[in-house]
């Protein structure tokens, strides 16, 4: 990442933060991202070179696709909010094929190296970072739509067959949280005046054999073949954006080719512990059909102030509750 971008990012985030402590945290985070980006470029440039002259995958003519959903510990061990998400997904499959991935059946789809499985068992590799490898491997091998287990679907899922790559993508508004302001700066590193786009990494569609996911897969396979320490949480994003997007035309064209859509992916979660607001829900669902619900959040079924069911309470009683607001 060049020095001009580094300085520009620091200038922007210095202005957007409100206090000294926040500014210092942002400064540290930016420096960490820049340092990691440079390290990854140095250590894994040979993987980028492998895909330098790759071409776009062929668009599928099929209107039905594979949908991938993973809970490593198995369906019986899912938290309630993940069960809600899975049931809502089943309602909205729209004829597509649902593939549920867990520790017990993963080898039916892809072969994970024994060394990686041993590191998972020893907790050197977290399930979060294992899912980064599995996601990219599955989409490379089969294509289809990957939905993280934290994603709640509210409408029938289209085919996306007109795309080789698709993901929710939107322009940031000034009121969104600082972490999104931090990440948008990495999407357009080739043009430091265009710092407004972000995407959702938990919802990815791809055609089979897409170099975008092949490159990510090869990166994680090599990374875990060498490393024995837990990486920075956002390593996938840094490698995808800072390294792949800026150095591979075939990746940049696909990411830039996605139009703005599903702009409110992260906004529903803040309403789950409040009583139902029909107008607000209709507003949220107007252009968004996928929503992120944190499985580690503490959800309440009743709003004690009004003695009414919360949105979460309604969803627990009826996982299809939000479909009525479409």
For residue 325, the model assigns a pLDDT of 87
pLDDT grade, residue 176 (50/70/90)? very low
Three-class SS state of 96: coil
Question: Cβ distance 189 to 241 under 8 Å?
Answer: yes
Number of H helices, E strands in the chain: 12, 11
Segment 147-176 mean pLDDT: 85
pLDDT grade, residue 236 (50/70/90)? confident
Q: Cα-flanking dihedrals φ and ψ of residue 261, to 5°?
A: -165, 160
In residues, how long is the chain? 326
For residue 201, the model assigns a pLDDT of 74
For residue 169, pLDDT beyond 70: yes
Q: CA-CA distance, 259 to 242, in Å (whole number)? A: 21
pLDDT grade, residue 175 (50/70/90)? very low
**Beta strand pairing call for 66-70 and 144-147:** parallel
Residue percentage of the chain with pLDDT more than 70: 81
Question: Cβ distance 262 to 290 under 8 Å?
Answer: yes
| pLDDT greater at residue 215 or residue 190 | 215
Segment 47-56 mean pLDDT: 93
For residue 233, the model assigns a pLDDT of 74
For residue 24, the model assigns a pLDDT of 65
- Beta-bridge mates of residue 204: 146
**Beta strand pairing call for 302-303 and 308-309:** antiparallel
For residue 13, the model assigns a pLDDT of 53
Q: CA-CA distance, 29 to 41, in Å (whole number)? A: 18
For residue 190, pLDDT beyond 50: no
Q: Which of 60-64, 258-262, 288-292 has the highest mean pLDDT?
A: 288-292
pTM of the model: 0.87
pLDDT grade, residue 37 (50/70/90)? confident
Segment 300-315 mean pLDDT: 90
For residue 305, pLDDT beyond 90: no
38: tokens are 């440079």
Q: Is 288 left (phi over 0), alpha (psi -120 to 50) or beta?
A: beta
Question: Cβ distance 3 to 189 under 8 Å?
Answer: no
For residue 179, the model assigns a pLDDT of 44
Per-residue pLDDT tens digits for 106-156 = 999 999 999 999 999 999 999 999 999 999 999 999 999 999 999 999 999
For residue 188, pLDDT beyond 60: no
Three-class SS state of 310: strand
């Amino acid at each position: 990442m060049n020095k001009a971008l580094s300085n520009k990012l620091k200038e922007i985030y210095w202005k957007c933060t409100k206090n000294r402590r926040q500014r210092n945290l942002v400064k540290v985070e930016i420096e960490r991202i820049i340092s990691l980006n440079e390290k990854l470029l140095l250590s894994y440039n040979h993987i980028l070179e492998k895909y330098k002259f790759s071409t776009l995958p062929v668009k599928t003519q099929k209107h039905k696709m594979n949908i991938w959903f993973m809970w490593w510990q198995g369906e019986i061990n899912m938290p309630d909010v993940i069960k809600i998400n899975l049931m809502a997904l089943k309602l909205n499959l729209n004829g597509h094929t649902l593939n549920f991935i867990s520790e017990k059946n993963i080898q039916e789809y892809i072969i994970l190296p024994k060394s990686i499985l041993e590191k998972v068992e020893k907790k050197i590799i977290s399930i979060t970072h294992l899912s980064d490898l599995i996601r990219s491997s599955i989409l490379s091998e089969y294509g289809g739509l990957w939905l993280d287990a934290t994603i709640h679907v509210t409408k029938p899922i289209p085919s996306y067959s007109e795309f080789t790559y698709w993901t929710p993508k939107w322009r940031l508004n000034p009121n969104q949280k600082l972490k999104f302001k931090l990440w948008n700066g990495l999407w357009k590193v080739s043009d430091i005046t265009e710092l407004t786009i972000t995407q959702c990494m938990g919802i990815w569609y791809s055609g089979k054999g897409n170099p975008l996911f092949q490159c990510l897969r090869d990166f994680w396979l090599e990374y875990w073949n060498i490393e024995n320490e837990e990486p920075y949480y956002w390593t996938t994003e840094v490698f995808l954006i800072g390294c792949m997007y800026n150095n591979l035309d075939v990746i940049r064209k696909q990411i830039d080719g996605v139009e703005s859509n599903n702009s409110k992916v992260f906004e529903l979660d803040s309403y789950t512990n409040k009583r139902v607001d029909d107008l607000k829900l209709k507003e949220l669902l107007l252009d968004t059909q996928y929503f992120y619900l944190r499985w580690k959040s503490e959800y309440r079924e009743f709003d004690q102030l009004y003695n009414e069911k919360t949105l979460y309470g309604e969803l627990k009683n009826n996982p299809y509750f939000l479909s009525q607001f479409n």
